[in-house]
Each structure stands twice: as structure tokens, then as C-alpha cells.
Amino acid sequence: MVKIRNWNYPNDVMDTVKINKKIRDDISELCKKKKIIKSKLIEDFYKSILIKFRDGSLNASNGYLTMNIFQR
């Protein structure tokens, strides 16, 4: 559960990642320019991995994953 000020998100959680600061800043800049919501991008990435893993195509593709990051 995540609480932000007066809002309550019972089915959401925060995820922390350790990455290089330069990469984080560059991705933030790209997302701002292209109006991409980073949390949705990460969520779609996780969903794609899970869907491909469950249907077996992740193993068949040797772990390769293709995503359209501009779909939103």
C-alpha cells in the first residue's frame, strides 16, 4: 500500500532501484521531453516480462523483449 498525502493506493507498492545517476537523469530528461510516465513505463516492462514468461515465448526468444515506449 502506498499513501501520498491524502491519497491512498491499496494495490500499489514502491520499488527501489540502484542505477547510475547519469542514466537516471538522462531517462528523466527523455521522459519529460516525450511526455512518458516513468511509472507506467516500468509497469508495462514488468507486465511484458511476466506475460512472455507465462506463455513460454520469453524462453523461445532467448530473453529478448521488444516494447513500444511511445505507445502512451
Residue 6 lies inside a defined structural domain of this protein: yes
- The whole-number average pLDDT for the span 58-70 is 89
Residue 22 lies inside a defined structural domain of this protein: yes
Domain count of the chain? 1
Residue 12 lies inside a defined structural domain of this protein: yes
CA distance 36 to 25: 14
CA distance 24 to 32: 12
Q: What is the pLDDT of residue 72?
A: 60
48 — pLDDT class (breaks 50, 70, 90): very high
Share of the chain above pLDDT 70, in %: 97
Residue for grid cell 547510475? 20
Closest CA to 27 of 15, 14, 16, 39: 39
Domain range for 49 is: 2-60
Residue 54 lies inside a defined structural domain of this protein: yes
CA end-to-end span of the chain, whole Å?
Answer: 25
pTM for the full predicted model = 0.76
CA distance 58 to 46: 13
Residue 7 lies inside a defined structural domain of this protein: yes
Q: What is the pLDDT of residue 6?
A: 75
Residue 51 lies inside a defined structural domain of this protein: yes
Residue 31 lies inside a defined structural domain of this protein: yes
- The whole-number average pLDDT for the span 28-35 is 94
